[in-house]
Amino acid sequence: MDRSVILEAYAMIGGATPLEGDCGARCGRACCEPDEEGNGAIRLFPGEAAILGDRTWARIECDPESPASRTLRCGGHCEREARPLGCRIFPLTPFYQRNGAIGVRLDARARPICPLARSGIAGLSRAFVDAVARAMERVSREAEGAAYLREWQAEEERYRGFRL
């Protein structure tokens, strides 16, 4: 996917966050906390690896599940302005509605991580939800972006129904 689409999505989200201000300050950056091996990871959108490039705080890896995909692995700290789109939209996830339109909802994978998940989407800043929806709609207009969003949705839906 052309890098301009990702950059447009970044711009559409801008400084919008799930809460007014830095929600990570309230929960100790729970979504950034590394796993047992000391790593955190997020799948990158198509073309995003070229935008992010090499970073001192993270490395880009091939996704073993999908060799064409890339994952950014970090130690829980980043340059906020350079964080990937997947981090910028958390705890939301894009999904295709029955009518084929793209929408956003609370990501099922957020439940065990994000304290905001308890409040549901209504507990998030409306400006943030709207910005993420616009950004995902823009990504969905590209064939590669639409295919990626369908993969993302299928992955996220595997977690729906699980209760931790």
pLDDT digit string, tens, across residues 121-146: 999 999 999 999 999 999 999 999 99
- Angle between the 3-13 and 126-140 helix axes, to the nearest 10 degrees? 170
Name the average pLDDT for the chain.
Answer: 88
Which of the four pLDDT bands, split at 50, 70 and 90, describes residue 39?
A: low
Amino acid at 83: R
105 by Cβ neighbours in 10 Å (0-12 / 13-18 / 19+) ranks as: middle
Element (H, E) at 106: strand 102-106
In a domain, 146, yes or no: yes
State which residues form the domain around 77: 3-157
In a domain, 25, yes or no: yes
Q: In the chain, how many domains are there?
A: 1
SS3 content of the chain, % helix, strand, coil (to 5): 45, 20, 40
In a domain, 83, yes or no: yes
pLDDT at 73: 86
pTM, full prediction: 0.90
Query: How crowded is the C-beta side of 131, counted as CA atoms within 13 Å?
Result: 21
In a domain, 162, yes or no: no
Strand partners, 74: 40, 58
pLDDT tens-digit series, residues 55-110: 899 889 886 766 667 888 888 888 888 999 999 999 999 999 999 999 999 998 88
